[in-house]
Amino acid sequence: MKFFVDTADTAEIKELAETGLIDGVTTNPSLVAKSGRPFKEVIEEICGLTNGPVSAEVVATDFETMVSEGKTLAAIADNVAVKLPLTWDGLRACRALADQDIAVNVTLCFSANQALLAAKAGAAFISPFIGRLDDINIDGMELISEIRIIYDNYLFETEILAASIRSANHVKLSAMAGADVATVPPNVIKGLASHPLTDKGLAAFLADAEKGGVKV
């Protein structure tokens, strides 16, 4: 499974990119706004920190302006994936941009039918928001599994990008359900490496090494 880091904090992205574990980045207007910097400037810098896709979201809601903004974002760097909302106009804009070989990430997906439409519209990525479904007592992982079945049935190439991930367990379950990508906040990615038994075992090894005078 690919890991995208979900942030617009360039320092965090640089740190994680240096590990070789990150395959791309997702942003949204809310995340970029937190930086206090010009939108295009932030996206351009992020695109220089990774060779993978960088999702940059339009702020328009009508078809014509979404297409225009999408072209503007795609011109920033070759690895920009234009992020569009899963609305009727968003789907129309997805097809228009995909027909021009511009990668599109269709976001705010909450049903398998929506995901089917996005794939037919030529989306490179579909972003089901599993955490927000969990918030209203709907199983987000069931949605990932449903989309996986539909996409496999018809050999759609759209990648399932599990979004709104809140925990390490979300990452594990998304991988088990067949998501192609998980977009994960930096703190959750770092937390995947943590386990109390690892910490306990390392402490014991180091204590024994010190006691025995072991040096490398």
What pLDDT does residue 63 have? 98
What pLDDT does residue 171 have? 98
Q: Which residues of the chain have pLDDT under 70?
A: none
Query: Which residues have C-beta within 8 Å of that of residue 165, sequence separation ≥ 6?
Result: 6, 130, 131, 171, 174, 182, 183, 184, 185, 188
What pLDDT does residue 185 have? 96
Helix H or strand E segment including 181: strand 181-184
Catalytic residue list contains 83: yes
Structure pTM? 0.95
What pLDDT does residue 14 have? 96
For residue 140, give its domain range: 2-212
What pLDDT does residue 7 have? 96
What pLDDT does residue 134 have? 94
Strand 24-26 relative to strand 125-128, pairing: unpaired
Options 83, 200, 211, 215, the catalytic residue: 83
What pLDDT does residue 112 have? 98
CATH of the domain at 16: 3.20.20.70
Domain count, the chain: 1
